[in-house]
């Protein structure tokens, strides 16, 4: 019995997308390290973690939306709105406090997310269409009402700079240069854990999976679909707000046209992590690995010696290959009767 | 009984045409309002010519998206396909020279360029079709991936630089006029007519609609779904290729990433035009009315010199507003069906 159980577990593990992705990441990392040994240093890994934390946090949001069977492409517009409004409010009010910045940015994020959530839950507009429209409205409104001027490093409140340079763990290289584990990575891990807890241990989380699996069944089993959808999109907005503040702290500059335009690569990372775009299936570990894969790919091309022209090509190729493998497997296992579009 | 039947029939007719009717009313009222508020500026031949030269490339891309959406999928790679096809044509136009054969070599180069652009776009569409039909990748992911792939190839070929300067005869495609009507508009009207005929008068078109509304039913009624899907995505690619020819000839250059704003606008116009994003319903006539509406608004905004950001807000609001209206009209017709049933 026990033996059988173990065998079942191994079989289950072999079927999981995450395992393959993990192996691919390891193999690819070894490959790059063999070409350029600086890749697998702790310093480089910390750097990669810091620069991709913002994308990772947005990916968590996208992950939840995909899980519920929807899609959100307005989160980048929300992130930049949160960031830019927060920076402007801080400058105008003279309050130089990073928590206040987070508060404003998340407030904007949740408010804009709520608009998405209400449109989707009350008017039953397809999520792609809703967020396509709201992305355009949010970003247009930001540029029209708040402004188009970039905030440069000199104007930027100090709290962002201090926060961006904050390390929790400081290590010293043999040559005396300090490097450290950025607070960004900790924030990302905490948010990932929080999301995992919500999904795994709360009725809300079960509801998100249920909606993604089959929305009609979810209604009949008593889930308040409208409420859950509202929560999902507010949560995405909240995460986007945090990502916006991390982004400004990282690059010490705010331009209201930044971030927007990266939504498809974030979605690609989540899908790479094994989350089904049709909803109901996916894990947060997979999402983190998907983000890691895209980040490594982005950063390794130059290390390998290929020019950055190849970037789009490789990201596209990897998306096609990974989704092809998973789709082909599931198509074969379901058989020919059920036709997938 | 008979009355009920008649009622159902009328309601069916009504709901089928209500979207088109709403669109028509919206289009006319936008046109009238803009003409009244901008006297002497909107209703001019020059303004119409400029509108007519902007509609075709965008309209062809919108038809490309629409074809994919009719099957319940989507094609995010249209602009990337158009870029790649345009670059193929541009390379031939600028680098390739035929040996002198009595003044015809320029024409031959142009024909070769157009053929190669269309071939490239067909291959791109074929790849999308294979991924969606045989590998079973959801269309949004397949075309997201190929979008990266195609634009990546375009960047690798050109190293990110633009290609400029085409033969003068080639430029006539994008900027010539016949009896005051811009050539691109004539090409667009012909292409739209072909699309209408294919969708409404052929077995293939009927199969596309069936596949979009219920793939399993389509399969059991003897339709070869894979075949239809591949053909649809190839057609979608072909329309992107046609758009690219008009595009590069109008601006006399091509660079990777040109026209990327068209992607979201094309989806927007398709949905505004009454297309059901889950597939199976939508018509070219609705699409064209939506394109005209947007173009009239666009040109009105240009005359009023609105900022592009403000236009962005309005596009988004219109999209959402139309969807909300659709929601209420669907609810209304459901209510009246119920009332009929209780009678």
A336 pLDDT higher than 60: no
Per-residue model confidence (pLDDT) at position B125: 92
Mutate: best of B136, B218, B223, partner A, most A CBs <10 A:
B136
**Residue of A126, A140, A315 with shortest CB distance to B277:** A126
Query: Of A162-171, A224-233, A265-274, B53-62, which has the strongest mean pLDDT?
Result: A224-233
pLDDT at A4 over 70: no
Residue B101 CA to residue B99 CA, distance in Å, equals 6
Give the tens place of pLDDT for each residue, B199-240. 888 888 888 888 888 888 888 888 888 888 899 999 999 999
| Intra-chain end-to-end CA distance of chain A, in Å | 40
pLDDT tens digits for range A144-175: 998 888 888 888 888 888 888 888 877 777 77
Say yes or no to pLDDT of B63 above 60: yes
Task: Kindly report, residue by residue over B108-145, the tens digit of the pLDDT.
Answer: 888 888 899 999 999 999 999 998 888 878 888 888 88
Question: CATH number, domain at B266?
Answer: 1.10.3470
**Mean pLDDT for the stretch of residues B178-205:** 87
Which residues 179-208 in chain B show a CB within 8 A of chain A?
none
Confirm or reject contact between B215 and chain A (CB < 8 A).
Answer: yes
Q: Per the CB < 8 Å rule, is A144 touching B310?
A: yes
pLDDT of amino acid B234: 92
* Structure confidence at residue B13 as a pLDDT band (50, 70, 90): very low
Instruction: Give the number of domains in chain B.
Output: 1
Whether the CB of B156 is below 8 Å from some CB of chain A: the reply is: yes
Mean residue pLDDT of chain A comes to 85
Å from A287 to nearest chain B CA?
16
Range B185-210 average pLDDT: 89
**Which value does ipTM take for this structure?**
0.82
pLDDT tier for residue B9 given thresholds of 50, 70 and 90: very low
pTM: 0.82
Band (B5; pLDDT cuts 50, 70, 90): very low
What are the residues whose beta carbons fall under 8 Å from the beta carbon of A190, sequence distance 6 or more?
none
> Which residue from A152, A155, A148, A153 is spatially nearest to A257, judged by alpha carbons?
A148
Better-scored residue on pLDDT, B323 or A142: A142
Q: What is the pLDDT of residue B17?
A: 58
CB B74 within 8 A of CB A126: no
Rounded to whole angstroms, what are the CA distances from B281 to A101, A338, B16, B197, B320? 47, 22, 9, 16, 19
Full domain range(s) for residue B125:
2-342
In chain B the first and final C-alpha atoms are separated, in Å, by 10
In a 3-state reduction of DSSP, which class is residue A243?
helix
A141 close to B (CB below 8 A): yes
The whole-number average pLDDT for the span A61-72 is: 92
Higher pLDDT, A269 or A79: A79
**What pLDDT was estimated at residue A168?**
80
* Interface contact flag, B156 A309, Cβ < 8 Å: yes
Q: Is the pLDDT of residue B8 over 60?
A: no
3-class DSSP string for chain B? CHHHHHHHHHHHHHHHHHHHHHHHHHHHHHHHHHHHHCCCCCCCHHHHHHHHHHHHHHHHHHHHHHHHHHCCCCCCCHHHHHHHHHHHHHHHHHHCCCCCCCCCHHHHHHHHHHHHHHHHHHHHHHHHHHHHHHHCCCHHHHHHHHHHHHHHHHHHHHCCCCEECCCHHHHHHHHCEECCEEHHHHHHHHHHHHHHHHHHHCHHHHHHHHHHHCHHHHHHCCCCHHHHHHHHHHHHHHHHHHHHHHHHHHHCEECCCCCCHHHHHHHHHHHHCCCCCCCCCCCHHHHHHHHHHHHHHHHHHHHCCCCHHHHHHHHHHHHHHHHHHHHHHHHHHHHHHHHHHHC
Of A132, A309, A338, the CB nearest to B159: A309
For residues A9 and B86, the model is more confident at: B86
- Residue A134 to chain B, least CA–CA distance (Å): 6
CB-CB neighbors (< 8 A) of A324 in chain B: 131, 135, 137
Query: Chain B within 8 Å of A92 (Cβ-Cβ)?
Result: no
pLDDT for A340 equals 44
Q: Which of A187-196, B24-33, B55-64, B326-335 has the lowest mean pLDDT?
A: B326-335
* Model confidence pLDDT, tens digit, residues A204-230: 999 999 998 888 889 898 899 999 999
pLDDT band, very low/low/confident/very high, at A341 (cuts 50, 70, 90): very low
Q: CB–CB of B131 and A324 under 8 A?
A: yes
Average pLDDT value for residue range A34-44: 81
CB contact under 8 Å between B219 and A339, yes or no, is: yes
Domain layout of chain A by residue ranges: 41-259
pLDDT of residue B7 exceeding 70: no
Helix (H, G, I), strand (E, B) or coil at A181: strand
Mean pLDDT of B157-166: 80
- Flag whether residue B305 sits within 8 Å of chain A, measured between CB atoms: no
Q: Residue B41, Cβ neighbours under 10 Å: how many? A: 15
pLDDT in tens, A94-108: 888 899 999 999 999
**Residue A38 vs residue B208, higher pLDDT:** B208
Average pLDDT, chain B: 81
Q: For A104-133, what is each residue's pLDDT tens digit?
A: 999 999 999 999 999 999 998 888 888 888
**pLDDT above 70 for A338:** no
Average of per-residue pLDDT across B306-313:
83
Question: So what's the pLDDT on residue A337?
Answer: 44
Contact list in B for residue A136 (CB cut-off 8 A) is: 264, 268, 312-313, 315-316, 319
Please give the pLDDT value at position A195: 95
Residue of higher predicted confidence among A97 and B332: A97
Q: Number of residue pairs across A and B with CB atoms under 8 Å?
A: 164
């Amino acid at each position: 019995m026990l033996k059988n159980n173990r065998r079942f577990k191994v079989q289950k593990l072999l079927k999981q997308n995450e395992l393959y992705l993990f192996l691919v990441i390891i193999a690819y990392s070894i490959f790059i390290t063999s070409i350029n040994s600086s890749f697998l240093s702790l310093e480089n890994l910390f750097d990669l973690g810091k620069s991709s934390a913002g994308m990772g946090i947005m990916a968590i949001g996208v992950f939840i939306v995909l899980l519920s069977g929807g899609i959100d492409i307005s989160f980048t517009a929300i992130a930049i709105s949160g960031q830019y409004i927060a920076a402007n409010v801080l400058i105008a009010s003279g309050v130089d406090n990073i928590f206040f910045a987070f508060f404003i940015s998340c407030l904007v994020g949740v408010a804009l997310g709520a608009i998405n959530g209400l449109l989707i839950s009350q008017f039953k507009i397809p999520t792609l269409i809703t967020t396509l429209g709201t992305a355009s409205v949010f970003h247009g409104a930001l540029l029209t009402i708040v402004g188009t001027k970039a905030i440069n490093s000199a104007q930027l409140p100090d709290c962002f700079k201090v926060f961006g340079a904050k390390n929790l763990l400081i290590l010293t290289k043999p040559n005396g240069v300090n490097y450290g584990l950025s607070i960004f990575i900790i924030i990302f891990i905490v948010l990932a854990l929080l999301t995992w807890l919500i999904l795994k241990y709360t009725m809300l989380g079960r509801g998100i999976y249920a909606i993604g699996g089959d929305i009609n069944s979810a209604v009949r089993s008593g889930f308040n679909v409208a409420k859950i959808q509202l929560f999902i999109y507010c949560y995405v907005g909240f995460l986007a707000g945090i990502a916006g503040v991390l982004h400004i702290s990282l690059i010490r500059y705010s331009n209201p046209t930044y971030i927007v335009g990266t939504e498809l690569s974030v979605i690609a990372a989540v899908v790479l992590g094994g989350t089904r775009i049709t909803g109901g299936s996916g894990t947060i570990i997979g999402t983190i690995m998907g983000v890691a894969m895209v980040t490594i790919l982005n950063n390794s091309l130059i290390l390998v010696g290929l020019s950055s022209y190849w970037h789009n090509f490789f990201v596209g190729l990897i998306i096609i290959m990974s989704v092809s493998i998973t789709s082909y497997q599931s198509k074969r296992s379901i058989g020919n009767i059920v036709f997938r579009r | 009984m008979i009355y009920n039947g008649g009622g159902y029939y009328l309601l069916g007719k009504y709901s089928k045409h209500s979207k088109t009717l709403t669109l028509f009313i919206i289009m006319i009222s936008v046109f009238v309002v803009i003409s009244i508020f901008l006297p002497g500026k909107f209703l001019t031949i020059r303004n119409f010519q400029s509108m007519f030269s902007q509609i075709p490339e965008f309209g062809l891309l919108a038809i490309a998206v629409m074809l994919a959406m009719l099957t319940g999928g989507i094609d995010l790679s249209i602009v990337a396909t158009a870029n790649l096809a345009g670059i193929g044509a541009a390379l031939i136009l600028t680098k390739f020279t035929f040996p002198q054969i009595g003044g015809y070599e320029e024409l031959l180069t142009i024909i070769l360029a157009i053929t190669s652009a269309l071939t490239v776009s067909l291959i791109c569409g074929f790849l999308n079709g294979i991924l969606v039909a045989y590998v079973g990748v959801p269309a949004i992911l397949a075309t997201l991936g190929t979008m990266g792939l195609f634009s990546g190839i375009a960047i690798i070929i050109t190293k990110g630089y633009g290609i400029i300067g085409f033969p003068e005869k080639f430029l006539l495609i994008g900027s010539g006029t016949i009896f005051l009507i811009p050539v691109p508009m004539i090409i667009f009207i012909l292409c739209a007519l072909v699309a209408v005929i294919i969708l409404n008068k052929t077995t293939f078109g009927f199969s596309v609609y069936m596949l979009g509304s219920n793939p399993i039913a389509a399969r059991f009624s003897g339709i070869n779904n894979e075949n239809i899907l591949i053909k649809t995505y190839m057609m979608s690619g072909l329309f992107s290729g046609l758009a690219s020819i008009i595009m590069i000839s109008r601006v006399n250059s091509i660079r990777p990433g040109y026209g990327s704003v068209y992607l979201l606008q094309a989806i927007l116009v398709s949905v505004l035009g009454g297309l059901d994003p889950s597939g199976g319903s939508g018509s070219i006539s609705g699409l064209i009315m939506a394109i005209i509406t947007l173009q009239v608004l666009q040109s009105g905004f240009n005359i009023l010199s609105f900022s592009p950001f403000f236009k962005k807000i309005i596009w988004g609001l219109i999209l959402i507003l139309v969807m909300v209206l659709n929601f209420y009209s669907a609810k209304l017709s459901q209510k009246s069906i119920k009332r009929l049933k209780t009678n």
